[in-house]
Amino acid sequence: MQTIVTDSAKEAASYINSGKIVAFPTETVYGLGVGICYPDAIENIFIAKGRPRDNPLIVHIARPADIDSVGREIGSDARKLVKHFFPGPLTLVLKKSHTIPGVVTAGLDTVGVRCPSNPIARNFLELCLCPVAAPSANTSGRPSSTSWEAVLHDLKGKIDCILKGAPSDIGLESTIVDCSNTPPILLRNGAVTIEELLGVIPEIRIGENRHNDEPPKSPGLKYPHYAPLARILLCTSGETVIPESETPYAWIGLTQPPVAAGFALVRQCGTTVEYARVLFDFFRKCDTRGIGTIYCELPPAKGIGRAILDRITRAAESN
Ligand code: AMP
Ligand code: MG
């Protein structure tokens, strides 16, 4: 299959409106979408990514008000979250409307819904004739794509079109909150932080069920994720790291590495926001450079630091 790369939202939407598969920029990471009115074509997302069939897709809407066409029995907590955080990097899990095909939700009675704030994404979604089901635009298990070049690297020849945009502002996937029950449960950390969510819904709970035997509330949480080819080693700030490696090694964190000499690639981030933005791109750069081990310094567990901790911990578990 030929993969067209375009900066025309109109052209990209015309592919969606004929049941084709299109990658597009958002403020979190790039998405890989198919219109939900083409249930047979949704299958192509799972094929292109090598994604397990039981991992549901997030439905992307152009306007916050479109939530009523996707979910049902939407309660006051969900309404409050929409009011505060839509459009933006927050996905709500709602009871699904009967119009959402089962292939999108992996057979669940709930659906993940997000309204991106990225202007190119919004323009594109407005031109699409139905909401767009889209997971992250990367090979399953690998770091999410935060640039159109990363999408091309993973998916060239497997998808119809890539809508070009700037690198993703946030760089990590959306926060996910399950609003299908009361009180809502935080399922995945992202740029909308627990501190901000508590400010709107003080009763919100933090879901933590991937380390026990219960089935995960969010099916995707049980799969390996975010992993570069390199091994990830986590280290605390100020820890003396003495790499013993025959392959080149790299460092990413908020401080300089303790052993200055010897790192083939070093990325010191000024803030946790910058750390989040560059993390997946750094992982990909390391793979291109043949790095064998990446040392990731643990950021403080607050704000977007929690989302970074989640991603680097899970990348380390995937090695
Ligand atoms: P990705 O877009 O690649 O970050 O993957 C979407 C994430 O959203 C996965 O972790 C899914 O498990 C989660 N998700 C999507 N729909 C639902 C849903 N109905 N219930 C719970 N989690 C969901
Ligand atoms: Mg993903």
Pick the ligand that lies closest to the CA of residue 227. 2
pLDDT over threshold 70, residue 191: yes
196 shares a domain with 134 = yes
47 within some domain: yes
8 shares a domain with 121 = yes
Better-predicted residue by pLDDT, 256 or 274: 274
Q: Which residue, 206, 221, 246, sits at the end of a domain? A: 206
CATH number at residue 305: 3.40.50.11030
Span 269-310, pLDDT tens digits: 999 999 999 999 999 999 999 999 999 999 999 999 999 999
183 shares a domain with 264 = no
pLDDT over threshold 60, residue 212: no
| Residue ID of nearest Cα to ligand 1 atom 21 | 218
- Ligand 2 centroid vs 239 CA: distance in angstroms? 31
CATH number at residue 58: 3.90.870.10
Residue 221 CA, closest ligand 1 atom number: 10
Q: Which residue, 190, 206, 222, sits at the end of a domain? A: 206
pLDDT over threshold 80, residue 30: yes
265 shares a domain with 144 = no
pLDDT over threshold 90, residue 208: no
264 shares a domain with 152 = no
Span 103-154, pLDDT tens digits: 999 999 999 999 999 999 999 999 999 999 999 999 999 999 999 999 999 9
pTM over 0.85: yes
Nearest alpha-carbon partner for 108 in 218, 32, 19: 218
245-265: average pLDDT: 85
**How far is residue 20's CA from residue 42's CA, in Å, rounded to a whole number?**
9
Taking all residues of the chain, what is their mean pLDDT, rounded to a whole number? 93
- Ligand 1 centroid vs 58 CA: distance in angstroms? 6
Q: Which of 30, 55, 67, 104 to mutate to test the pocket of ligand 1 (most atoms within 8 A of CB)?
A: 55
**What is the count of structural domains for the chain?**
2
182 shares a domain with 238 = no
39 within some domain: yes
Could you tell me which residues are beta bridge partners of residue 176? 91, 188
160 shares a domain with 19 = yes
Q: Domain limits at 237?
A: 231-318
> In 10 A of CB 102, how many CB atoms?
13
- Ligand 2 centroid vs 135 CA: distance in angstroms? 6
49 within some domain: yes
Pick the ligand that lies closest to the CA of residue 143. 2
pLDDT over threshold 50, residue 213: no
CA 264 to chain centre: 28
290 shares a domain with 166 = no
Ligand 1 proximal residues by C-beta, below 6 Å: 55-56, 58, 93, 105, 108, 110-112, 135-136, 173, 176, 217-221
132 within some domain: yes
Pick the ligand that lies closest to the CA of residue 185. 1
